[in-house]
Amino acid sequence: MNRNVTIGLIQMDCVLGDVPANVATASDKIRQAAAKGAQIVCLPELCTTGYRPELLENRLWELTEPVPGPTTDIFCRLAKELGIYIILPMNEKGASTGLIHNAAVFIDKGGQVQGVFRKVHAYATERYYFTDGNHYPVFETEFGKVGVMICYDMGFPEVARILTLQGAEVIFAPSAWRQEDEDIWDINIAARALENRLFVAAVNRVGREEDVVMHGKSKIVSTRGKTLAEAARFEEDILVATVDLAELIQGRRETPYLKDRKPAGYGLITQTY
């Protein structure tokens, strides 16, 4: 039985601190992806404001919004109009004044916010600006269950494994990955897919924010970690490809990592130093 779903990844540049410009660009590219048949579309990390919080300084809080809020309202209307799911990475206001999450909002095709994933592992100077998330929601679609992890979260196998154990069949990874770590980008995506025998769809930024250059090369990989489709390097691109979620069944028969787990012996993983 085919359980096909067509994925769209929006590989775009962002204007630092210009939310209206970034929303307009993202909206146009989402329309293009939908016109190519995309049913679930994912944007890159912090695409509404640009990536580097230290460059925004005092403007960061002003540019951060609640969820739901004005920007999510725009994308909710777009999702409903096009009949697609949208994963919108953005700065989200926390429960208390001054707290900010590096978040990804999951919007269903009815135009409703289904939930939010908040980046768990802050990279480098991000920790001075963002409050870490500690929940791993999985989102329901008619195709199957979807998980999200953000950029540096890919380097921690625990994140993808928790999402998998909660039923995720495809994990999206919106990112702003720098060119110096392109080799790690390739390895992390493939490894997380293979060790959980699911699909990973990772979308990367392009463009420069001062000394940080993001290389793109968004990709969708199979349950064996094989690249099925890949976007251009250093250029804006819209990647659209179809995967069959039924392939998870055969993959998990071939290498039953989930069945063969021995969690009773994994206590060391949860100890802190």
In the structure, what pLDDT confidence band is assigned to residue 272 with cuts at 50, 70 and 90?
confident
- Residue type for 201, please? A
Residue 232 reports pLDDT greater than 70? yes
Catalytic residue, candidates 151, 169, 217, 247: 151
Indicate the pairing of strand 100-107 with strand 113-118. Answer: antiparallel
- Spatial separation of the C-alpha atoms in residues 46 and 43, rounded to whole Å: 9
Q: Is residue 123 in a domain?
A: yes
Q: pLDDT grade, residue 223 (50/70/90)?
A: very high
The pTM is what? 0.97
Q: What is the pLDDT of residue 175?
A: 98
Q: Which two tokens stand for residue 181?
A: 């770590």
Q: pLDDT tens digits for 121-175?
A: 999 999 999 999 999 999 999 999 999 999 999 999 999 999 999 999 999 999 9
- pLDDT above 70 coverage of the chain, percent: 100
Residue 268 lies in a domain: no
Q: List the one residue out of 119, 168, 160, 161 whose CA is nearest residue 140.
A: 168
The answer as to whether 183 is a domain residue is: yes
In a domain, 132, yes or no: yes
**Residue 273 belongs to some domain of the structure:** no
Its sign, for the CA torsion 108, 112, 115, 118, is positive
Q: Write out the two tokens for 258.
A: 């989930």
Task: Specify if 271 maps to a domain.
Answer: no
Q: What is the mean pLDDT of residues 181-196?
A: 98
Mean pLDDT of the chain: 97
In the chain, alpha helices (H): 19-35, 53-56, 59-63, 70-82, 157-165, 182-196, 247-254
In sequence order, what DSSP letters do the residues of 110-138 get, joined into one string?
TS-EEEEEE-SS--GGGGGT-PPP----E
List the domain range (segments joined by +) for residue 213.
Answer: 4-261
* Span 47-102, pLDDT tens digits: 999 999 999 988 999 999 999 999 999 999 999 999 999 999 999 999 999 999 99
Annotation says 119 is catalytic: yes
Q: Does 269 fall in a domain? A: no
Residue 2 pLDDT > 80: no
Instruction: Determine which one of 14, 45, 109, 145 is catalytic.
Output: 45
- Taking alpha carbons only, the member of 135, 143, 91, 86 closest to residue 110 is 86
d(C-alpha 220, C-alpha 230), whole Å: 7
DSSP 171: E
> What's at 83, amino acid-wise?
G
Peptide bond into 68 cis (omega under 30): yes
Asked if the model's pLDDT at residue 1 lies above 70, the reply is no
Evaluate whether residue 148 is within a structural domain.
yes
Q: How many helices and strands (H and E) does the chain possess?
A: 7, 14
45 carries an active-site annotation: yes
pLDDT tens by residue, 3-59: 999 999 999 999 999 999 999 999 999 999 999 999 999 999 999 999 999 999 889
Which member of 119, 145, 217, 219 is catalytic? Answer: 119
Q: At 76, give phi and psi (nearest 5°).
A: -65, -45
Domains identified in the chain, total number: 1
CATH code, domain carrying 51: 3.60.110.10
| Higher pLDDT, residue 272 or 217 | 217
